[in-house]
Amino acid sequence: MIRPDPALRYERLDALRGAAVVWMAIFHFCFDLDHFGLIAADFKHDPFWTWQRTAIVSLFLFCAGLGQSVALAQGQRWPRFWRRWAQVAGCALLVSAGSWLMFPRSFISFGVLHAMALMLLILRLLAPRLPLAALFGLGLLALAAPLLWQHPVFDSRWTNWVGLVTAKPFTEDYVPLLPWIGVMLWGCALGRWRPALLQGALPAMLAPLAALGRWSLSFYMLHQPLLIGLLMAVTMAA
Protein backbone atom coordinates (compact mmCIF):
# COMPACT_ATOMS: atom_id res chain seq x y z
CA MET A 1 0.00 0.00 0.00
CA ILE A 2 1.27 3.50 -0.82
CA ARG A 3 1.96 5.47 2.33
CA PRO A 4 -0.03 8.72 2.73
CA ASP A 5 2.93 11.08 2.83
CA PRO A 6 2.71 13.87 0.20
CA ALA A 7 6.41 14.69 0.68
CA LEU A 8 7.54 11.13 -0.08
CA ARG A 9 9.26 10.62 -3.43
CA TYR A 10 9.18 7.36 -5.33
CA GLU A 11 12.58 7.10 -6.92
CA ARG A 12 11.60 4.33 -9.31
CA LEU A 13 8.92 6.54 -10.81
CA ASP A 14 11.31 9.50 -10.93
CA ALA A 15 13.92 7.37 -12.69
CA LEU A 16 11.40 6.12 -15.26
CA ARG A 17 10.39 9.71 -15.94
CA GLY A 18 14.07 10.67 -16.15
CA ALA A 19 14.66 7.95 -18.75
CA ALA A 20 11.82 9.41 -20.81
CA VAL A 21 13.42 12.85 -20.52
CA VAL A 22 16.80 11.60 -21.78
CA TRP A 23 15.21 9.72 -24.68
CA MET A 24 13.16 12.81 -25.58
CA ALA A 25 16.24 15.05 -25.52
CA ILE A 26 18.15 12.71 -27.85
CA PHE A 27 15.16 12.52 -30.20
CA HIS A 28 14.74 16.31 -30.26
CA PHE A 29 18.45 16.84 -30.82
CA CYS A 30 18.27 14.61 -33.91
CA PHE A 31 15.16 16.50 -35.04
CA ASP A 32 17.03 19.79 -34.67
CA LEU A 33 20.01 18.44 -36.58
CA ASP A 34 17.67 17.61 -39.45
CA HIS A 35 15.98 21.03 -39.22
CA PHE A 36 19.35 22.78 -39.59
CA GLY A 37 20.36 20.50 -42.48
CA LEU A 38 23.13 18.74 -40.56
CA ILE A 39 21.59 15.31 -41.08
CA ALA A 40 18.90 13.96 -43.42
CA ALA A 41 16.00 12.20 -41.68
CA ASP A 42 12.28 11.82 -42.31
CA PHE A 43 10.67 12.38 -38.92
CA LYS A 44 7.14 12.41 -40.33
CA HIS A 45 7.17 9.08 -42.19
CA ASP A 46 10.21 6.94 -41.29
CA PRO A 47 9.06 4.28 -38.78
CA PHE A 48 12.43 4.49 -37.00
CA TRP A 49 11.48 8.01 -35.87
CA THR A 50 7.68 7.81 -35.74
CA TRP A 51 7.71 4.77 -33.46
CA GLN A 52 10.23 6.43 -31.18
CA ARG A 53 7.98 9.46 -30.85
CA THR A 54 5.03 7.20 -30.00
CA ALA A 55 7.09 5.38 -27.38
CA ILE A 56 8.39 8.59 -25.78
CA VAL A 57 4.95 10.19 -25.53
CA SER A 58 3.52 6.93 -24.19
CA LEU A 59 6.21 6.75 -21.52
CA PHE A 60 5.58 10.33 -20.38
CA LEU A 61 1.81 9.84 -20.17
CA PHE A 62 2.19 6.46 -18.48
CA CYS A 63 4.42 8.07 -15.86
CA ALA A 64 1.83 10.82 -15.40
CA GLY A 65 -0.82 8.16 -14.78
CA LEU A 66 1.41 6.41 -12.26
CA GLY A 67 2.01 9.76 -10.59
CA GLN A 68 -1.72 10.37 -10.27
CA SER A 69 -2.21 7.00 -8.63
CA VAL A 70 0.43 7.98 -6.07
CA ALA A 71 -1.08 11.45 -5.52
CA LEU A 72 -4.57 10.05 -4.99
CA ALA A 73 -3.34 7.31 -2.65
CA GLN A 74 -1.47 9.92 -0.61
CA GLY A 75 -4.58 12.05 -0.33
CA GLN A 76 -3.28 14.97 -2.36
CA ARG A 77 -5.54 17.97 -1.79
CA TRP A 78 -6.99 20.12 -4.57
CA PRO A 79 -4.82 23.21 -3.86
CA ARG A 80 -1.65 21.17 -4.40
CA PHE A 81 -3.13 19.63 -7.54
CA TRP A 82 -4.10 23.04 -8.92
CA ARG A 83 -0.57 24.41 -8.37
CA ARG A 84 0.97 21.62 -10.39
CA TRP A 85 -1.79 21.77 -13.00
CA ALA A 86 -1.23 25.52 -13.46
CA GLN A 87 2.46 24.87 -14.13
CA VAL A 88 1.66 22.30 -16.82
CA ALA A 89 -1.07 24.44 -18.43
CA GLY A 90 1.09 27.57 -18.32
CA CYS A 91 3.97 25.75 -19.98
CA ALA A 92 1.58 24.46 -22.64
CA LEU A 93 0.64 28.03 -23.51
CA LEU A 94 4.33 28.97 -23.69
CA VAL A 95 4.96 26.06 -26.05
CA SER A 96 2.15 27.26 -28.33
CA ALA A 97 3.54 30.79 -28.34
CA GLY A 98 7.13 29.69 -28.95
CA SER A 99 6.21 27.27 -31.71
CA TRP A 100 4.09 29.94 -33.39
CA LEU A 101 7.13 32.20 -33.54
CA MET A 102 9.30 29.47 -35.05
CA PHE A 103 6.71 27.52 -37.09
CA PRO A 104 3.76 29.90 -37.74
CA ARG A 105 2.12 27.53 -40.24
CA SER A 106 2.43 24.42 -38.09
CA PHE A 107 2.54 25.75 -34.54
CA ILE A 108 1.54 23.48 -31.65
CA SER A 109 -2.07 24.02 -30.63
CA PHE A 110 -2.54 20.73 -28.78
CA GLY A 111 0.70 18.96 -27.97
CA VAL A 112 1.80 16.75 -25.12
CA LEU A 113 1.56 19.41 -22.40
CA HIS A 114 -1.90 20.56 -23.55
CA ALA A 115 -3.02 16.94 -23.53
CA MET A 116 -1.49 16.31 -20.12
CA ALA A 117 -3.26 19.32 -18.60
CA LEU A 118 -6.64 18.11 -19.85
CA MET A 119 -6.01 14.47 -18.96
CA LEU A 120 -4.87 15.31 -15.43
CA LEU A 121 -8.18 17.07 -14.84
CA ILE A 122 -10.15 14.10 -16.17
CA LEU A 123 -8.18 11.59 -14.09
CA ARG A 124 -8.47 13.71 -10.97
CA LEU A 125 -12.26 13.71 -11.35
CA LEU A 126 -12.77 10.14 -12.54
CA ALA A 127 -10.08 7.96 -10.98
CA PRO A 128 -11.22 8.20 -7.33
CA ARG A 129 -14.77 7.25 -8.38
CA LEU A 130 -13.98 4.29 -10.64
CA PRO A 131 -13.06 0.71 -9.79
CA LEU A 132 -9.81 -0.70 -11.09
CA ALA A 133 -11.47 -2.72 -13.85
CA ALA A 134 -13.21 0.42 -15.15
CA LEU A 135 -9.89 2.27 -15.42
CA PHE A 136 -8.39 -0.54 -17.50
CA GLY A 137 -11.58 -0.83 -19.58
CA LEU A 138 -11.86 2.89 -20.28
CA GLY A 139 -8.19 2.92 -21.21
CA LEU A 140 -8.79 0.18 -23.77
CA LEU A 141 -11.82 2.01 -25.20
CA ALA A 142 -9.84 5.24 -25.50
CA LEU A 143 -7.02 3.48 -27.34
CA ALA A 144 -9.45 1.83 -29.74
CA ALA A 145 -11.78 4.80 -30.35
CA PRO A 146 -9.82 6.55 -33.19
CA LEU A 147 -9.49 3.23 -34.99
CA LEU A 148 -13.24 2.60 -34.80
CA TRP A 149 -14.65 6.02 -35.70
CA GLN A 150 -13.49 9.28 -37.29
CA HIS A 151 -15.47 12.27 -38.55
CA PRO A 152 -14.54 15.45 -40.49
CA VAL A 153 -16.09 17.61 -37.78
CA PHE A 154 -12.99 16.85 -35.69
CA ASP A 155 -10.53 17.95 -38.40
CA SER A 156 -10.45 21.67 -37.51
CA ARG A 157 -7.82 23.18 -35.22
CA TRP A 158 -10.61 23.92 -32.71
CA THR A 159 -11.82 20.31 -32.54
CA ASN A 160 -8.86 18.09 -33.45
CA TRP A 161 -7.86 17.89 -29.76
CA VAL A 162 -10.52 15.18 -29.42
CA GLY A 163 -8.54 12.88 -31.72
CA LEU A 164 -11.27 11.44 -33.97
CA VAL A 165 -9.77 13.11 -37.05
CA THR A 166 -9.89 11.77 -40.59
CA ALA A 167 -6.34 13.03 -41.25
CA LYS A 168 -3.52 14.05 -38.96
CA PRO A 169 -3.25 17.86 -38.74
CA PHE A 170 -0.21 19.76 -39.99
CA THR A 171 1.50 20.65 -36.73
CA GLU A 172 4.84 20.17 -34.99
CA ASP A 173 3.30 18.18 -32.15
CA TYR A 174 -0.11 16.55 -31.86
CA VAL A 175 -1.22 14.52 -28.85
CA PRO A 176 -5.04 14.37 -28.87
CA LEU A 177 -7.22 13.18 -26.03
CA LEU A 178 -8.06 9.99 -27.92
CA PRO A 179 -6.28 7.62 -27.93
CA TRP A 180 -3.64 9.03 -25.58
CA ILE A 181 -5.71 9.28 -22.41
CA GLY A 182 -5.86 5.50 -22.58
CA VAL A 183 -2.13 5.35 -21.78
CA MET A 184 -2.55 7.64 -18.76
CA LEU A 185 -5.55 5.63 -17.54
CA TRP A 186 -3.53 2.43 -17.73
CA GLY A 187 -0.66 4.06 -15.84
CA CYS A 188 -3.05 5.15 -13.10
CA ALA A 189 -4.66 1.70 -13.01
CA LEU A 190 -1.32 -0.10 -12.77
CA GLY A 191 -0.16 2.22 -9.98
CA ARG A 192 -3.31 1.42 -8.01
CA TRP A 193 -3.16 -2.32 -8.78
CA ARG A 194 0.56 -2.87 -8.11
CA PRO A 195 1.83 0.03 -5.96
CA ALA A 196 4.79 -2.08 -4.82
CA LEU A 197 6.29 -1.67 -8.30
CA LEU A 198 6.95 2.00 -7.46
CA GLN A 199 8.45 1.33 -4.06
CA GLY A 200 11.80 0.00 -2.96
CA ALA A 201 15.40 1.03 -3.36
CA LEU A 202 16.84 2.30 -6.62
CA PRO A 203 20.29 1.20 -7.83
CA ALA A 204 22.86 3.94 -7.26
CA MET A 205 23.71 4.08 -10.96
CA LEU A 206 20.13 5.21 -11.69
CA ALA A 207 20.11 8.01 -9.13
CA PRO A 208 20.96 10.68 -11.77
CA LEU A 209 17.89 9.62 -13.77
CA ALA A 210 15.72 9.98 -10.67
CA ALA A 211 17.12 13.45 -10.02
CA LEU A 212 16.40 14.45 -13.61
CA GLY A 213 12.91 13.00 -13.42
CA ARG A 214 12.07 15.26 -10.49
CA TRP A 215 12.65 18.28 -12.76
CA SER A 216 11.13 16.88 -15.94
CA LEU A 217 8.86 19.86 -16.69
CA SER A 218 11.68 22.39 -16.28
CA PHE A 219 13.95 20.26 -18.46
CA TYR A 220 11.21 19.92 -21.07
CA MET A 221 10.79 23.68 -21.32
CA LEU A 222 14.50 24.51 -21.42
CA HIS A 223 16.12 21.79 -23.49
CA GLN A 224 14.84 22.81 -26.95
CA PRO A 225 15.72 26.53 -26.69
CA LEU A 226 19.19 25.52 -25.52
CA LEU A 227 19.67 22.91 -28.25
CA ILE A 228 18.36 25.22 -30.98
CA GLY A 229 20.52 28.09 -29.70
CA LEU A 230 23.58 25.82 -29.70
CA LEU A 231 22.96 24.61 -33.26
CA MET A 232 22.28 28.15 -34.49
CA ALA A 233 25.63 29.21 -33.08
CA VAL A 234 27.36 26.24 -34.68
CA THR A 235 25.81 26.82 -38.11
CA MET A 236 26.58 30.56 -38.04
CA ALA A 237 30.19 29.87 -37.04
CA ALA A 238 30.68 27.27 -39.78
pLDDT digits (tens, 9 = 90+) for 156-194: 999 999 999 999 999 999 999 999 999 999 999 999 999
Length of the chain: 238
Q: What is the pLDDT of residue 10?
A: 92
Asked if 175 and 117 count as a contact pair (C-beta separation under 8 A), the reply is no
Is 128's pLDDT higher than 90? yes
Q: What is the pLDDT of residue 209?
A: 96
Residue 61: band (very low, low, confident or very high) from pLDDT cuts 50, 70, 90:
very high
Residue 7: band (very low, low, confident or very high) from pLDDT cuts 50, 70, 90:
low
pTM of the model: 0.94
Q: What is the pLDDT of residue 58?
A: 98
For CA atoms 67, 73, 78, 83, the dihedral sign is negative
First to last CA, the chain: 57
Q: What is the pLDDT of residue 6?
A: 52
User: HSE on the CB side for 123, CA within 13 Å?
Assistant: 36
Asked if 108 and 173 count as a contact pair (C-beta separation under 8 A), the reply is yes
Residue 9: band (very low, low, confident or very high) from pLDDT cuts 50, 70, 90:
confident
Mean pLDDT of 31-57: 95
Q: What is the pLDDT of residue 177?
A: 98
The C-alpha angle 143, 183, 179, rounded to 5 degrees, equals: 30
Q: How far is CA 190 from CA 136, 198, 199, 221, in A?
A: 9, 10, 13, 28
Three-class secondary structure of residue 39 per DSSP: coil
Q: What is the pLDDT of residue 102?
A: 84
Q: What is the pLDDT of residue 46?
A: 96
Q: What is the pLDDT of residue 237?
A: 83
